[in-house]
Structure 1
């Protein structure tokens, strides 16, 4: 069993945070002008024409790292293993969706299934997860309108309690209570070093995280 990725959407249906762990290939960068907020994830940010000629950055989660602005230690632990690197040609030729389209597709699936469950089963019935042969999708909706979506191995039990702990812990501590994180700006994500490191540490500490 393992956890693949985490998406967080705000009340305006936009992805404000993305994190992955056991993804075989890194996502394509988002399209310029595709509507992706700033500070969602540096690895999937739109690449300008100037940056396209540079070496593709390593796409991995910060674990042993320093804050780029302050130099303070963010987290201590084993270094993460970077995902296999791809050249710009390989990224452009792969059949993966650009991240902005991928995030919209995930949100569309969640909303469609949630609405279908409500129509078929009544307003008191909650859509929390669904399973395919390749993955299981888990959903947690907060009272403030944020949606936590997690993809995992199909054999994983419901991870709603994990996302609840993530919301009550790192999200409240490093996003909601952080005056420097704009929570409802409609143009800025919530990817700050402390929240990303705390999320990574929390997920890696789970028994279902996998090798």
Structure 2
């Protein structure tokens, strides 16, 4: 049994966090403006390539003493080529080359949320307001949902034979989410401008998920 990925949506239906573990086909990076900043560097839109002079555009600062033809690169940080290895995540498994699904992440995130919203509304109409949508299964995966009182939705995809992971999503909410997001004064909740990804939050979720008996 495996755990594939985690999505967190705010009450404005926007994906504010993403993380994956056992995905063999990762979505393409989102288009520019398709997702908020600080959701996940793995699926962030590609940034314009920097020139040898360190300038992203054609603008050259008058204080730049190195000519573009010098052949010297002072500092070049390519965020698209690889995600930075932070101290908290150095113990994680090395990155593996993954093929692409052919679908941009912003489109994938919308599809996942659309499925959750449609099934939740259908269950409420057919079974009454007391019934809750917690998971559904296909031949390829199983989707688990935990919704907080404030409207945040935690969605996890796993192996179809995995038992309910609703308790895991609740652990993520009452643990790392409350500690590193809600109580963090540097994180703007419901800002509609930024996601909620930060080093401690991501590392804490990674430790929690990798410590589960269903993780393999």
TM-score interval for Structure 1 and Structure 2 normalised by the shorter chain = 0.7 to 0.9
Runs of at least 5 residues in structure 1 that lack an aligned partner in the other structure: 67-73, 87-93
Normalised by the length of structure 2, the TM-score is 0.82
Task: Supply the distance in 2 between the matched residues of 1:56 and 1:114 (Cα, whole angstroms).
Answer: 36
Question: How far 1:160 sits from its partner (Å)?
Answer: 0.2
Alignment of 1:43-62 (within 5 A): 43-50=42-49, 57-58=81-82
RMSD: 1.9
Contact 2:3–2:21, Cα closer than 8 Å, also in 1: yes
Which one has the largest radius of gyration?
A: 2
- What corresponds to 2:213 in structure 1? 207
Task: Supply the distance in 1 between the matched residues of 2:83 and 2:185 (Cα, whole angstroms).
Answer: 28
Report the 3-state secondary structure (helix = DSSP H, G, I; strand = E; otherwise coil) of the residue aligned with 1:17. Answer: strand
Task: Supply the distance in 2 between the matched residues of 1:55 and 1:11 (Cα, whole angstroms).
Answer: 29
Task: Supply the distance in 2 between the matched residues of 1:10 and 1:134 (Cα, whole angstroms).
Answer: 26
- What corresponds to 1:91 in structure 2? none
Q: Does 2:156 align with 1:143? A: no
Contact 2:47–2:80, Cα closer than 8 Å, also in 1: no
Contact 1:58–1:85, Cα closer than 8 Å, also in 2: no
Question: How far 1:83 sits from its partner (Å)?
Answer: 2.1
- What corresponds to 1:118 in structure 2? 124
Size of the alignment, in residue pairs?
189
Deviations 1:31-74 (A, max 9, x none): 1132x1110001111113437xx6953369x6xx33xxxxxxx3
Q: Does 2:94 align with 1:81? A: yes
Identify the match of residue 108 of structure 2 among 80, 89, 102.
Answer: 102
Deviations 1:136-191 (A, max 9, x none): 00000000110000000000000000100110001100111000011110010000
Normalised by the length of structure 1, the TM-score is 0.84
Task: Supply the distance in 1 between the matched residues of 2:173 and 2:23 (Cα, whole angstroms).
Answer: 23
After the TM superposition, which segments of 4 or more aligned residues of structure 1 sit over 6 Å from their partners? Answer: none
- The 1:47/1:157 distance shift into structure 2, 3 A limit, reads same
- What corresponds to 1:154 in structure 2? 160
Runs of at least 5 residues in structure 2 that lack an aligned partner in the other structure: 51-77
Task: Supply the distance in 2 between the matched residues of 1:7 and 1:75 (Cα, whole angstroms).
Answer: 19
- The 1:120/1:59 distance shift into structure 2, 3 A limit, reads farther
